[in-house]
């Protein structure tokens, strides 16, 4: 096994583990939403913190789950030419796309969010609602986790594509298949 294979497998394993953990957050989000509806419409009781937790979980699921989705080739793509192309052409498209679009996007997101997140941490930003969750600064930090996990999976995608173009792989798929 080459060094590139080790790197690819470790990144894939990280995002696979993260995706499985996020699946539990999705279950929690559904259960909390169900509880909020029951409490509000059956018992006429509402809790701001429970309603905000749904928003937190929703953001966490989509941001942290993005690397897992890329690992399993689940992101939307316009594949007019891609789906009918051979493995080397698809690998070239993925390599160029990850190098010139995905990785710069992740770097820009990380860089531009720095002040936004650090300012939130400086004041330990909480909810503007009186009984809301005091954890807005942690939620904003998920932006960095998003950029890192998606960027790492973009590196794995690019390395897998590079191996295909170099002839080290006989078949090509964007995911770990």
The 10s digit of each residue's pLDDT in 106-120 is 999 999 999 999 999
- 89: Cβ–Cβ under 8 A, 6 or more apart, which residues? 82
**In-domain check, residue 142:** yes
Assess whether pLDDT exceeds 90 at residue 79. Answer: no
pLDDT the model gives residue 74: 84
Angle at 31 between CA 30 and CA 32, to 5 degrees: 95
pLDDT the model gives residue 76: 76
**In-domain check, residue 170:** no
pLDDT in tens, 89-144: 889 999 999 999 999 999 999 999 999 999 999 999 999 998 999 999 999 999 99
**In-domain check, residue 172:** no
- Under 8 Å between Cβ of 156 and 8: yes
**In-domain check, residue 174:** no
Q: How many domains does the chain have?
A: 1
Name the band, by pLDDT with cuts 50, 70 and 90, for residue 1: low
**In-domain check, residue 80:** yes
Which residue range(s) make up the domain with 72? Answer: 3-165
- Under 8 Å between Cβ of 159 and 4: yes
**In-domain check, residue 31:** yes
pLDDT the model gives residue 14: 97
């Amino acid at each position: 096994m080459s060094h590139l294979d080790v790197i690819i497998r470790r990144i894939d394993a990280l995002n696979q583990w993260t995706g499985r953990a996020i699946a539990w957050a999705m279950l929690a989000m559904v259960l909390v939403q169900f509880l909020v509806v029951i409490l509000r419409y059956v018992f006429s009781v509402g809790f701001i913190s429970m309603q905000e937790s749904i928003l937190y979980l929703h953001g966490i699921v989509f941001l942290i789950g993005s690397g897992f989705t890329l690992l399993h080739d689940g992101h939307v793509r316009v594949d007019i030419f891609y789906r009918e192309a051979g493995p080397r052409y698809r690998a070239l498209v993925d390599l160029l796309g990850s190098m010139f679009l995905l990785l710069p996007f992740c770097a820009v997101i990380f860089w531009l969010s720095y002040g936004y997140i650090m300012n939130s941490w400086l004041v330990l930003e909480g909810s503007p609602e009186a009984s809301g969750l005091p954890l807005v600064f942690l939620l904003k930090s998920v932006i960095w986790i998003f950029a890192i996990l998606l960027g790492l999976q973009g590196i794995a995608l690019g390395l897998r594509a590079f191996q295909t173009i170099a002839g080290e792989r006989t078949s090509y798929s964007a995911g770990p298949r």
